[in-house]
Structures are given as C-alpha cells and as structure tokens.
Structure 1
C-alpha cells in the first residue's frame, strides 16, 4: 500500500511539473508575441506627425560630434524654430571639448524677433564614448557597456520629445534607448537624422544602423544618389 502511494505521489508531482513547464512556455510565447506586436506598432507609427496633447514647445535633444558634425548641426540650428524646440539639451562626447563650446556660443547669441536677447534655457551635457579612435575591440566591450549605462541614465533624466542628430557615433546608444523607451511606453521621442554632407555614396555606420533598424523617424540625406539607394530617406539638398 505504501509503495502504491509513493508511485501515485511521484506521478502527480511529475504531472504538476509538466503543467508548470507548459504554463511557463505559454507565458513566454505570449510575452514575446506581445512585444513583437509592440515593436511593429512603434515602427508603423514612427515618422508620423508628432502626437502632442496640445501645441507647444517640444523638449529637444541635440547630439553633437567632433569635427564637421558640429559645424553642420550648428547650421541646422540657425534656422530652427527656437521657441518651438525648447528646452534644448546638447550632448557631446566626454573627450570632445569644442562642440559644447560652440553650442554655448550659439545659445548666448540668440535673440527674439524684437532683437531682445533670449533667456537661455539650454543645458549642456557630456556622454562617454563607446570606443575611442584606435582603441582595441577587446577593451571596447567594457567601454561600450559603460557608455550604454550612461546613455540610459541621461535619457531617463532628459526624456526628450525630439532628437536631432547627424552622424556622430555617440548618437547610436541614445537613439537606440529612445526606441526602447517607445516600445516599453516610457516616452515617445521622434528621432530626426540628417546624414553628413560628406557622405556622398554611402551612409555612415551610424546612419546605416539607424536606417536599417528603423530607429530614425525621419531620415534625411544631402545627395540624390543616396536617396535612390535608400528610398525611405528624404533628399533635402546640401544644407551647408
């Protein structure tokens, strides 16, 4: 009698384990399916007009890069509707000392329509690079993880409605986190990417990633042959 009881108990335990395993698998499948639908939803709505509760200013993150990237971005900002895209947050790499200085100069020289100096609401920040020029790929694994964590902290702090970038490598983790925030419902940030004028025949690595992964809501190029090669891009002519 005792042996039969033990056998029955073992069989019942096995059935319970089997049932729990099936529930776990079902839960995982449902979760992955819902996540996939959410990603497809985000991709579908990306690029559509900004959905704001009421017309007004949009908090804007502007990602700067060393060299020509910042010069091109400054040219874009000169024609930007400052009152519409405000407050503005400027981010540059921690080792880039010139870009934020140029952004500060731009903000300090802003005046309104009546020629009165505007009250500065801009903020300036720095972010760690994923990989420095000449750094080995082995050591860049750690620096990339640090950069991603720093980018996550910055994006959680800023939560911009608009992101403007034009190719520096520092834009990739920030834009990727912005896409992740869309998927999980933290914040809907519209990413506007303008490829550098130096890119005539091929996209930069940053641009290629944002284009192929559909992270950028609007993608602009400055040469017609690029638009023909990447049909979802918008040709806007040379902006310099």
Structure 2
C-alpha cells in the first residue's frame, strides 16, 4: 500500500479511522479530462464495502481489498443507487465472499433485487447497521443527485458521510484526502455535464445530511474531503438553488 496495482494505478488510503478509499484512475485517453472510481472499505467485525465499482474493474477492486483484509471476510456490499459504478461488481464479490449480502435502500431492493445473486438487505430511512466499532445509518435521498432509489450511509463513529456522486470531481483522482476546495471543481463539472436531477426536495435533503455534521465526505469520484461537512453541504444547496 498505497498502490496495489502499478499498471492501473489503483491505490488504497485510509481516509478516516478504519475507512479505506480504493481509487482507480482513468486517463484522459479513455474519458476526456480523466476520471476516477472510488470504493470505500470499512474494516470492522463485519466489513462493509460502499460501491463495488464497474464489473470490468472487479479484479482491481478485489486486489485492493485483499491488501487490507481477506476478500471472503466481506459481509456488506452497500451502494447508493442502481448504476454500473455503484453495484456493477456485486455478483462477482458475492461469489468471492460467501457471507456477504447486498445492502441498499428499500426502493432499490424493491425494483432491482433480481439483479443480484443473493437477496439484498433493505435499509429503511434512518435505520442503523452495526458493523462492530462502526455504525452506519442509511438516509434516503431520492433524486439527489439522481435516481429515485438514491441514498447514502453516514458512519457515526468517524462522522464520515459516504456521499456517492455528491461533489464529483473530474481528473484522475487527486489527493486521497484533501481540505482544498471540492465544491468548485464539482460545480465546474456540473456546468459541463449536469448529472443532477434538480428535484424539488434537494435543499431539504442536503440539510438533513448536514444535520449529521460530517467531518469526512467520502466522494465516489475524486478526492475524499475533510472539514466542516455541514457547511459544505449547505454551500452545495445554495449552488443548486441558483
């Protein structure tokens, strides 16, 4: 560690206590401007992976997980909404981890359960899952930024918000963890390719997430961020309301 595959540049970095960012860069020759795909591994009695990455990245993600803990120890494969980079490798990981199960919100489980080789554990809004030392709470966020079934997990012990596509940054990944501006780069990307559904409840949903007072924002694309997460979420709400 931190680089687990020299050819792809996949790396693993601890961004909060017991929470590891797995990041694979994609060069500008593949995606204009470059991009990155991140997964977050919560190491505990019942390890949890948030996002699986696209299926084609499964060998890289498996290799990265194995640098931290045996893949077969995974118990929870969680994701925000139904999209390739969120849950494309679920069935591959289920085959590698016999005790694991998908974890998602109730709407996702209702409309997509047949996609996975084992039944998902469906979490209700506000439901908490204990992993051991860590506790994750599910928050429904329909259409934020997109997807009726969208939601996020907040890890209470470290106050880490596993915030999926919020604050998506372009480029090949940046620093694993930063205090630098991520709202500006994410808004610049949104100006070019607006991936938000602009639902009427976006501001209220962001305020609910801000109420957790997160100090680490675990972004799916780009750097994870640390600081006053509540203030940054409220700044995003203002930007979306313009």
Please give the TM-score of this superposition, normalised by the length of structure 1. 0.34
- The structure carrying a bigger strand percent of its residues is 2
Please give the TM-score of this superposition, normalised by the length of structure 2. 0.34
- The structure carrying a bigger helix percent of its residues is 1
